[in-house]
């Protein structure tokens, strides 16, 4: 049976976003899937339609790296008469390398996607959720949020922002019946690894599956949690990063990345 509550997933064409779409579809949720790659979205919609024919799936091809991307997405949903129940801010990417040599344009695009567009979407969507006193936002952060990471300096900083913002919003809106969650996965088997040039990183020798990360994130969000860290080893690493002297945590992170 189709659940009329719409879940909007950004970056849904692959990886964690695509797996979240599959999980929500299996649970009967109506879906809006958005990403830049229209063919990937169409393939995913066809897959969901075959497995769950009663589930409504809408596609929006959009580039959230563009400054007007967030507003364009909300305008398109308004045109289609879609009211967001759950927003999943999954779109994002990382880059590995020395800060001083990575192209600034690439780092600026990362800031736009990982931080600015995510923040805009949260600000545009939250008022209606609060007014209806239901629904929520699931922001995909990272275990990189818990410490500075040399050779991924900007990426880790963006995810620290996402974690901090999500925690603060969680407290602001929970009394209104709205849940904001930060999902903090560790190394995960997705295309992110290729774009970020992490295939040879020591951290990615035993990545978690995207399907497992997606399920843990959705389950934690639906349970009302503020932070979901995937896996016991990642939880231990996050705790260790907080307890260890900061110079030691960043040097260890630099060794693992370098």
CA nearest 207: which of 238, 235, 233, 239?
Answer: 233
Long-range Cβ contact pairs of 48-54 (< 8 A, separation 24 or more) = 48/21, 48/22, 51/25, 51/26, 52/25, 52/26, 52/28, 54/1, 54/2, 54/28
Which amino acids are annotated catalytic?
A: 155
Nearest partner of 231 among 196, 187, 167, judged by Cα: 187
Q: In what order do the strands lie in the sheet with 227-229?
A: 57-61, 29-35, 3-10, 84-89, 136-140, 179-184, 227-229
115 in Cβ contact with 162 (< 8 Å): yes
């Amino acid at each position: 049976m189709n659940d009329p509550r719409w879940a909007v997933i950004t970056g849904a064409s692959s990886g964690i976003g695509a797996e979240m779409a599959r999980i929500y579809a299996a649970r009967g949720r109506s879906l809006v899937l958005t990403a830049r790659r229209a063919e990937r979205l169409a393939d995913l919609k066809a897959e969901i339609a075959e497995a769950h024919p009663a589930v409504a799936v809408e596609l929006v091809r959009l580039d959230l790296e563009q400054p007007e991307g967030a507003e364009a997405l909300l305008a398109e949903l308004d045109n289609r008469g879609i009211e967001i129940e759950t927003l999943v801010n999954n779109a994002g990417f990382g880059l590995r390398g020395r800060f001083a040599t990575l192209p600034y344009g690439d780092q600026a695009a990362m800031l736009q996607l990982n931080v600015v567009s995510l923040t805009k979407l949260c600000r545009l969507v939250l008022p209606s959720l609060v007014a209806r006193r239901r629904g929520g936002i699931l922001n995909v952060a990272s275990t990189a949020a818990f410490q500075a990471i040399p050779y991924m300096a900007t990426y880790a900083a963006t995810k620290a922002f996402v974690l901090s913002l999500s925690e603060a919003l969680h407290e602001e809106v929970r009394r209104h019946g709205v849940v904001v969650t930060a999902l903090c996965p560790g190394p995960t088997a997705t295309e992110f690894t290729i774009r970020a040039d992490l295939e040879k990183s020591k951290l990615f020798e035993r990545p978690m599956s995207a399907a497992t990360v997606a399920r843990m994130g959705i389950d934690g969000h639906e349970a009302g949690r503020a932070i979901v860290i995937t896996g016991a080893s990642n939880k231990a690493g996050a705790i260790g990063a907080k307890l260890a002297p900061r110079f030691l945590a960043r040097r260890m992170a630099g060794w693992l990345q370098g």
